[in-house]
C-alpha cells in the first residue's frame, strides 16, 4: 500500500509556468501595495510571494492535466479587460451617486439569475468579481454555470445580462477564436 501511495505522489506534476505566473502576480500586487522598492520591502514581498506560490502549487498539484500557458493575445486581452472594467466601475459609481442623491431614491432592487458558457473556473470567478466590483451589482452566488446577481436597479439588472465584458472574458479563455 505504501508503494502505491508513493507512486501516486510521483505521478503528480507541478505546473511550473503557472507557479511563475502566480509569483509574478503576487509580487506585482505586493509592490503595488507597498509602494516602495527598498530592499526590505522587496525581500519581504519575495519571501511571502514564494511561500504563497509553494502553497498554491501544493494545493493544485495534479489538478489540471496540462501546464498553464498564456499567449500574448491573452495578455493584451487581459490588459484591455482591466481598462474596460475600470471605465465601467467609474460609470457605475456615477450612476449610483446620482440615484443615492436623487430626492425620491429611484431604486428597484432585484435578483438576476444568469447562465454563462464559460469553461474555466478562473474566468467564471473573474467575471463574477467584475460584476461585484461594479457599484450597483453584487454576485450573490456562483454555482457551476449560474451567476446569481443582486442589482440595485432594474436597469443595472438588465445591463449585467448583456454586458460586453462577458464577450471579452470569453475571448480571454479562448472561447471565441
Q: Where does a domain end: 19, 35, 60?
A: 60
Do 156 and 127 sit in the same domain of this protein? yes
Do 82 and 123 sit in the same domain of this protein? yes
pLDDT of residue 62: 60
91 in a structural domain? yes
The count of structural domains within the chain is 2
Exposure string of 31-66, with b = 16+ CB inside 10 Å and e = fewer, is eeeeeeeeeeeeeebeeebeeebeebbeeeeeeeee
Do 109 and 165 sit in the same domain of this protein? yes
State the residue range of the domain holding 45: 2-60
Do 129 and 99 sit in the same domain of this protein? yes
pLDDT of residue 36: 86
For every one of its 177 residues, what pLDDT tens digit does the chain have, with 9 covering 90 and above?
A: 444 444 444 455 667 777 888 898 899 889 988 888 899 989 999 999 999 998 887 776 665 655 566 678 888 898 899 999 999 999 999 999 999 898 888 888 999 999 888 888 888 888 999 999 989 999 999 988 899 999 998 888 888 888 999 999 999 887 444
177 in a structural domain? no
Do 45 and 25 sit in the same domain of this protein? yes
pLDDT of residue 44: 94
Do 94 and 46 sit in the same domain of this protein? no
Q: Is there a contact between 165 and 147 (Cβ–Cβ < 8 Å)?
A: no
Hey, which residues does 139 pair with through a beta bridge? 149
Tell me the Ramachandran region of residue 66: left when phi exceeds 0, alpha when psi lies from -120 to 50, beta otherwise.
beta
Amino acid at each position: 500500500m505504501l508503494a502505491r501511495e508513493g507512486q501516486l505522489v510521483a505521478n503528480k506534476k507541478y505546473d511550473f509556468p503557472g507557479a511563475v505566473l502566480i509569483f509574478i502576480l503576487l509580487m506585482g500586487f505586493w509592490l503595488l501595495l507597498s509602494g516602495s522598492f527598498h530592499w526590505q520591502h522587496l525581500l519581504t514581498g519575495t519571501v511571502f510571494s514564494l511561500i504563497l506560490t509553494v502553497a498554491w502549487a501544493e494545493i493544485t498539484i495534479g489538478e489540471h492535466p496540462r501546464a498553464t500557458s498564456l499567449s500574448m493575445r491573452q495578455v493584451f486581452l487581459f490588459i484591455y479587460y482591466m481598462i474596460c472594467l475600470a471605465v465601467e466601475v467609474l460609470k457605475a459609481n456615477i450612476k449610483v451617486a446620482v440615484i443615492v442623491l436623487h430626492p425620491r431614491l429611484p431604486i428597484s432592487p432585484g435578483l438576476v439569475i444568469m447562465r454563462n458558457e464559460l469553461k474555466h473556473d478562473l474566468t467564471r470567478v473573474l467575471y463574477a468579481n467584475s460584476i461585484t466590483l461594479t457599484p450597483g451589482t453584487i454576485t450573490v452566488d456562483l454555482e457551476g454555470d449560474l451567476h446569481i446577481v443582486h442589482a440595485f436597479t432594474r436597469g443595472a439588472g438588465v445591463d449585467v445580462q448583456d454586458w460586453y465584458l462577458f464577450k471579452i472574458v470569453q475571448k480571454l479563455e479562448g472561447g471565441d477564436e
